[in-house]
């Protein structure tokens, strides 16, 4: 295999919004499904503008090529080129839409005129080839009637975010009230301004929209998270992909309900684990989820948020809002200083980051100081360092689904450990983020979402 590509360097001064970190899309993967669908949609829009496209081709590289079939990247490309977006496509209609394109060997480019499309020649999985820039790369080519061609390369850089080669990495200049690029800066701002971490984020969001609009967005995110739990608790049957993994959340839920009220040490972690399980089974089935910060780690934050609302006496809507704002601040730091892409960092960059975010969010909702919040986030990551991404069959199922249950429980543990202290600790959040980054760089490619090592090769597929 070719050597892994050099990654797009993190940009510490990039302005990131909560709307960038939390997006509502479809499963099973933010980087392999949501990102490619967005890239294909963007290319289709650009290609049809001049008119007269007679054919399009997509070439997939790196992790997208190696595990794309298991992550439904092929379906995402088909639907994106046909004009669908992760935010608006009906998950229940995805199989039928993809089947129609395949049966007709034609797709309506950006929802318009149908053009011939044969996956055998027009959607190529170039396994073993990486492009400079990022391990998740795709190249689109549009062929025109006059013989001209238009080509563009996109990178799916984690959490559903995409970058078109040649475009600036930084967002447009946005004047944040309290810009920060490290946890140390964030803590200093909070102390100087007399603000909690969540309040710092809320103030910064005013650079994009009114406080009311931000509150409405966060309420929408919360509702989508809890709705995903509810749907996951009802789902039954075998997950798609060929591993014959059965959905367990409904059976576990029914057993817990039948058992009735019970006070013992297992009650809380059984319910929290169930909620995370429900979300990630729904994600694996291609359902509607919130990238938080990715689809592969989508169950951690909803499960911990639901823990706060169900098990913490006196939980409030304001507390849930603070949970999400605070968690987003921690997510910003990982995006700025490292990566949330498993293809670059391994699963420490997905479930590990989600655990760190959820720990901080819960600590804030429980009344922690900024120093305790930073400590909670650090603990959440410190005990996920080195976590590999080696999905069996390239599917976001084993070990991904159960791994979210572990991340949620760790996050709650980290929050309470931090609350028992005064915020002083040996390892800073900045140090643990840098350690995660270095570990990700040093980690061999076969352990970073390529399904070429670990469980992916040591477990015989069903």
Confirm whether 81 is domain-assigned: yes
DSSP track, 327-346? HHHHHHHHHHHS---HHHH-
Query: CB count, 10 Å around CB of 451?
Result: 21
What pLDDT is attached to residue 4? 41
Q: How confident is the model at residue 170 (pLDDT cuts 50, 70, 90)?
A: low
**Do 234 and 250 meet the contact criterion of CB atoms below 8 Å apart?**
yes
* pLDDT, tens digit, 9 for 90 and up, residues 297-338: 999 999 999 999 999 999 999 999 999 999 999 999 999 999
Buried b (16+ CB within 10 A) or exposed e, 26-45: bbbbbbbbbbbbbbbbbbbe
**Do 116 and 106 meet the contact criterion of CB atoms below 8 Å apart?**
yes
Cα gap 166→180, rounded to integer Å: 26
What pLDDT is attached to residue 12? 58
Over range 229-242, report the average pLDDT: 96
Query: CB count, 10 Å around CB of 52?
Result: 13
Confirm whether 111 is domain-assigned: yes
Q: Which residues lie across from 136 on neighbouring strands?
A: 62
Q: How confident is the model at residue 11 (pLDDT cuts 50, 70, 90)?
A: low
73 and 197 together in one domain: no
69 and 140 together in one domain: yes
What pLDDT is attached to residue 38? 97
356 φ, ψ to 5°? -60, -45
Over range 260-288, report the average pLDDT: 92
429 and 344 together in one domain: yes
Tokens encoding 399: 């070990």
What SS3 state is found at 391? coil
Is the per-residue pLDDT at 409 higher than 50?
yes
Q: How many helices (H) and strands (E) does the chain have?
A: 19, 9
199 and 296 together in one domain: yes
113 burial level (CB within 10 Å; 0-12, 13-18, 19+): middle
| E strand or H helix at 157 | strand 149-158
Over range 166-189, report the average pLDDT: 87
Of 22, 9, 352, 415, the residue nearest 205 (C-alpha): 22
What pLDDT is attached to residue 5? 40
Of 356, 259, 82, the residue nearest 364 (C-alpha): 356
Tokens encoding 457: 């090769």
Is the per-residue pLDDT at 7 higher than 90?
no
Confirm whether 75 is domain-assigned: yes
What pLDDT is attached to residue 261? 79
What pLDDT is attached to residue 168? 77
Q: What is the DSSP letter of 389?
A: B
User: Which among 115, 130, 164 is the end of a domain?
Assistant: 164
Of 228, 202, 227, 233, the residue nearest 217 (C-alpha): 202
Domain total for the chain? 2
Angle, to 10 degrees, between the axis of helix 317-337 and the axis of helix 211-232?
90
Q: Which residues form the domain of 80? A: 29-164
User: Which among 136, 164, 192 is the end of a domain?
Assistant: 164
Confirm whether 286 is domain-assigned: yes
* pLDDT, tens digit, 9 for 90 and up, residues 371-390: 999 999 999 999 999 999 99
What pLDDT is attached to residue 172? 53
216 and 146 together in one domain: no
Cα gap 365→411, rounded to integer Å: 13
**Do 66 and 450 meet the contact criterion of CB atoms below 8 Å apart?**
yes
CA 68 to each of CA 32, 53, 392: distance values in angstroms, whole numbers, following the listed order: 6, 26, 13
Confirm whether 462 is domain-assigned: no
87 and 210 together in one domain: no
Q: How confident is the model at residue 260 (pLDDT cuts 50, 70, 90)?
A: confident
* pLDDT, tens digit, 9 for 90 and up, residues 90-130: 999 999 999 999 999 999 999 999 999 999 999 999 999 99
What pLDDT is attached to residue 90? 94
**Do 196 and 370 meet the contact criterion of CB atoms below 8 Å apart?**
yes
236 and 368 together in one domain: yes
* pLDDT, tens digit, 9 for 90 and up, residues 36-69: 999 999 999 999 987 789 999 999 999 999 999 9
Is the per-residue pLDDT at 3 higher than 50?
no
Confirm whether 406 is domain-assigned: yes
Is the per-residue pLDDT at 161 higher than 60?
yes
417 and 310 together in one domain: yes
Average pLDDT, the chain: 94
Is the full-model pTM beyond 0.85? yes
Confirm whether 398 is domain-assigned: yes
202 and 125 together in one domain: no
Over range 258-266, report the average pLDDT: 80
Is the per-residue pLDDT at 173 higher than 90?
no
Q: How confident is the model at residue 6 (pLDDT cuts 50, 70, 90)?
A: very low
Cα gap 137→133, rounded to integer Å: 8
Parallel/antiparallel/unpaired status of strands 123-125 and 161-164: unpaired
Of 22, 18, 280, 6, the residue nearest 131 (C-alpha): 6
Percentage above 90 pLDDT, the chain: 90
CA 202 to chain centroid: 22
305 and 354 together in one domain: yes
Confirm whether 18 is domain-assigned: no
Over range 344-373, report the average pLDDT: 98
What's the CATH number where 159 sits? 3.30.1330.90
Q: What is the DSSP letter of 31?
A: I
What's the CATH number where 397 sits? 1.10.4100
Percentage above 70 pLDDT, the chain: 95
DSSP track, 253-317? HHHHHHH-S--STHHHHHHHHHHHHHHHHHHHTT-EEEESS-STTTTHHHHHHHHHHHHSTT--H
Tokens encoding 24: 């509502």
129 and 202 together in one domain: no
Is the per-residue pLDDT at 461 higher than 90?
no
151 and 243 together in one domain: no
């Amino acid at each position: 295999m070719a050597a892994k590509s050099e990654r797009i360097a993190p940009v510490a001064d990039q302005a990131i919004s909560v709307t960038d970190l939390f997006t509502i899309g479809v499963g099973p993967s933010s980087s392999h499904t949501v990102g490619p669908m967005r890239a294909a949609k963007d290319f289709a829009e650009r290609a049809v503008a001049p008119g007269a496209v007679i054919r399009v081709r997509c070439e997939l590289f790196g992790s997208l090529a190696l595990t794309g079939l298991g992550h439904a990247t092929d379906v995402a490309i088909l639907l994106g080129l046909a004009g669908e977006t992760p935010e608006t496509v009906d998950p229940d209609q995805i199989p039928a839409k993809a089947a129609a394109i395949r049966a007709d060997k034609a797709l309506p480019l950006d929802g318009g005129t149908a053009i011939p499309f044969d996956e055998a020649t027009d959607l190529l999985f170039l396994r073993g080839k990486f492009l400079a820039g990022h391990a998740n790369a795709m190249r689109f080519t549009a062929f025109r009637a006059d013989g001209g061609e238009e080509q563009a390369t996109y990178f799916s850089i984690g959490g559903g975010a995409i970058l078109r080669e040649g475009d600036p990495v930084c967002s447009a200049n946005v004047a944040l009230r309290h810009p920060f690029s490290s946890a140390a800066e964030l803590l200093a701002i909070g102390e100087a301004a007399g603000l909690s971490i969540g309040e710092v984020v809320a103030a910064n969001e005013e650079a994009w929209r009114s406080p009311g609009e931000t509150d409405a967005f966060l309420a929408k995110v919360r509702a989508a998270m809890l709705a995903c739990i509810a749907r996951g608790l009802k789902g039954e049957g075998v997950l798609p992909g060929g591993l014959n993994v059965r959905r367990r959340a409904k059976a576990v839920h029914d057993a817990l309900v039948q058992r009735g009220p019970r006070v013992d040490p297992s009650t809380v972690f059984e319910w929290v684990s169930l909620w995370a399980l429900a979300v990630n089974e729904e994600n694996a089935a291609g359902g509607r989820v919130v990238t938080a910060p990715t689809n592969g780690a989508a169950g951690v934050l909803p499960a911990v948020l639901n823990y706060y609302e169900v098990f913490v006496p006196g939980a409030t809507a304001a507390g849930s809002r603070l949970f999400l704002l605070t968690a987003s601040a921690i997510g910003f730091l990982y995006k700025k200083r490292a990566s949330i892409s498993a293809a670059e960092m391994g699963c420490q960059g997905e479930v590990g980051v989600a655990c760190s975010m959820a720990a901080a969010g819960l600590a804030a909702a429980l009344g922690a100081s900024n120093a305790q919040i930073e400590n909670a986030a650090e603990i959440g990551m410190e005990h996920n360092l080195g976590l590999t991404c080696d999905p069996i069959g390239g599917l976001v199922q084993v070990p991904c689904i159960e791994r979210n249950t572990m991340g949620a429980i760790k996050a709650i543990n980290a929050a309470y450990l931090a609350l028992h202290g005064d915020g002083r600790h040996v390892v800073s959040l900045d140090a643990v983020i840098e350690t995660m980054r270095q570990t990700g760089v040093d980690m061999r490619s076969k352990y970073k979402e390529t399904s070429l090592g670990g469980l992916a090769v040591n477990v015989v597929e069903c």
